[in-house]
Amino acid sequence: MDKKNQSDGIKRRRFLQIGSAFAASAIYLPLSGNLFGALSGNNAKISIPTVKLNNGLLMPGLGFGTNTLTGDIGERSVYDAISVGYRLIDTATVYGNEESVGAGIKKSGIKREELFVTSKLWVDDSGYENSKKAFQTSLSKLGLGYLDLYLIHRPRGDVKGSWKAMEELYSQGKIKAIGVSNFNPDQLAELMAYANIKPVINQVETHVFFQENIIYEDLKKKDVQMEAWSPFAAGRNGIFSNETLAAIGKKYNKSIAQVVLRWHFQRGIVVIPRSSQKAHMIENLNIFDFELPKSDMQIIAKLDLNTTQFPEWE
Ligand SMILES: NC(=O)c1ccc[n+]([C@@H]2O[C@H](COP(=O)([O-])OP(=O)(O)OC[C@H]3O[C@@H](n4cnc5c(N)ncnc54)[C@H](OP(=O)(O)O)[C@@H]3O)[C@@H](O)[C@H]2O)c1
């Protein structure tokens, strides 16, 4: 093997090792190469790694968050996100934007099976009958025939009744995977004790300032995928001017946003950053061509304040 091939081989092996930390069965979802031409100055392809959920479904490891993106901005942002390569779109009933998200998807012209769409059941709709109705409302607002992932947004109300309804919708093929959000280890264990179908995901607040290591380890043990909401802490606590993150980024010619997303990726966490700006959307996708060594991962680990940045939602 000549030197170049050897070095390519080592790089590839290292990349795959990270991929396998991400998910034992990570594969790479090819996206249209020319969409990224403007970014790289050539037709280089960016592939978003996927995770295999515990029911066998493949999910992109990086997607697009839509909280607060409502109305025309919501529609345009979702359209832009799909056009630059995002395939996972995260919405929720309580965001009040399912119609805008649906309009953006429709306008993109993308084939349904190429997208992975998540929505969430709000607490006011908990319980068996309410959940079924709420799901149908979400589906019709989105203009879709099925959802890829449906989550119980918060562990409140009649969670057991909601889960039963979601299991039925799953069995009928109306949802490809079901999961939860904002559940602590005990709440998740309680649900798993009566569930016939195991949740695939727990979507929780996770970022450099709130690393949630207890939940992180617990989900690994339970074989439930961790997904980070507010992967940038929604910009709080000065994340985009943090000197430690900036210094790390400088070494690899990457922005703070890219360092943060890469850190999540190397921890094996699915991320759904939100942006209303196309340039940021592209920047946030461009994290698969560098690697943070263990030393940088350890420096970032020390930024943990072990406390929520959203006390108003507690
Ligand atoms: N399950 C739950 O309870 C829950 C709760 C909250 C959120 N979520 C989900 O998680 C998603 C993400 O969380 P989030 O919306 O709270 O916030 P976030 O993704 O942590 O941060 C969004 C902020 O980062 C900025 N930003 C994005 N990319 C940037 C870049 N490259 N450089 C500089 N600034 C950048 C955005 O501004 P610009 O628009 O200017 O780019 C926006 O102000 C939500 O949209 C939602 O889908 C779920």
* pLDDT tens digits along 28-41: 333 333 222 223 33
Summarize pLDDT for 197-216 with one digit per residue, the tens: 999 999 999 999 999 999 99
Residue 55 domain flag? no
Question: Of 4-18, 23-37, 108-122, which range is least confident?
Answer: 23-37
The Å distance, Cα 40 to ligand 1 centre, comes to: 24
> In this structure, what CATH number is given to the domain that contains residue 160?
3.20.20.100
Query: Residue 9: what pLDDT?
Result: 43
Side-chain-facing half-sphere of 169: CA atoms under 13 Å: 30
138 vs 4, more confident: 138
Query: Residue 45: what pLDDT?
Result: 54
Give the mean pLDDT of 24-28: 35
Give the mean pLDDT of 117-136: 98
Q: Helix or strand or coil: residue 179? A: strand
Question: Of 14-28, 223-237, 238-252, which range is least confident?
Answer: 14-28
Query: Residue 125: what pLDDT?
Result: 98
Q: Helix or strand or coil: residue 89? A: strand
Residue 5 domain flag? no
Q: Is 15 in the pocket of ligand 1 (CB under 6 A)?
A: no
Distance of CA 61 to the CA centre of its chain: 6
The Å distance, Cα 234 to ligand 1 centre, comes to: 5
Q: Is 229 in the pocket of ligand 1 (CB under 6 A)?
A: yes
Residue 224 domain flag? yes
Query: Residue 44: what pLDDT?
Result: 44
Contact 180, 199 (CB under 8 A): yes
Distance of CA 71 to the CA centre of its chain: 22
pLDDT at residue 51 above 70?
yes
Amino acid at 188: L
Query: Residue 278: what pLDDT?
Result: 97
Q: Is 98 in the pocket of ligand 1 (CB under 6 A)?
A: no
Average model confidence (pLDDT) for the chain? 89
**What is the DSSP annotation of 201-245?**
EEEEE-BTTB--HHHHHHHHHHT-EEEEESTTGGGGGGGGG-HHH
Torsion angle, alpha carbons of 50, 179, 211, 20, to 10: -30
Atom of ligand 1 nearest to the CA of 181: 1
User: What residue's CA is closest to ligand 1, atom 13?
Assistant: 230
Query: Domain tally for the chain?
Result: 1
Give the mean pLDDT of 122-151: 98
Angle, nearest 10°, between helix axes 213-222 and 185-194? 20
pLDDT at residue 64 above 90?
yes
Beta strands in 53-115 (DSSP E): 58-60, 64-65, 88-90
| Confidence category of residue 1, pLDDT binned at 50, 70, 90 | very low
Query: Residue 31: what pLDDT?
Result: 34
Tokens 């950053």 label which residue?
Answer: 273
Which residues have CB under 8 Å from 297's CB, separation 6+? 263, 266, 267
- Which domain does 99 fall in, by range? 62-304
Give the mean pLDDT of 94-120: 98
Query: Residue 47: what pLDDT?
Result: 86
Query: Residue 258: what pLDDT?
Result: 98
Give the mean pLDDT of 56-77: 98
Residue 225 domain flag? yes
Question: Of 17-31, 189-203, 248-262, which range is least confident?
Answer: 17-31
Q: Is 104 in the pocket of ligand 1 (CB under 6 A)?
A: no
Atom of ligand 1 nearest to the CA of 91: 47
Sign of CA dihedral 168, 174, 176, 180: negative
Summarize pLDDT for 272-309 with one digit per residue, the tens: 999 999 999 999 999 999 999 999 999 999 999 999 99
Query: Residue 54: what pLDDT?
Result: 98
Buried b (16+ CB within 10 A) or exposed e, 283-299: bbbbbbeebbeeebeeb
| Percent of the chain with pLDDT strictly greater than 70 | 85
User: What residue's CA is closest to ligand 1, atom 19?
Assistant: 273
Query: Residue 22: what pLDDT?
Result: 45
Residue 201 domain flag? yes
Query: For a pocket test of ligand 1, which of 232, 237, 271, 283 has the largest count of ligand atoms closer than 8 A to its C-beta?
Result: 232
Query: Residue 32: what pLDDT?
Result: 32
Residue 49 domain flag? no
Question: Which residues does the annotation mark as catalytic?
Answer: 95
Query: Residue 286: what pLDDT?
Result: 97
Contact 123, 135 (CB under 8 A): no
Residue 41 domain flag? no
Q: Is 182 in the pocket of ligand 1 (CB under 6 A)?
A: yes
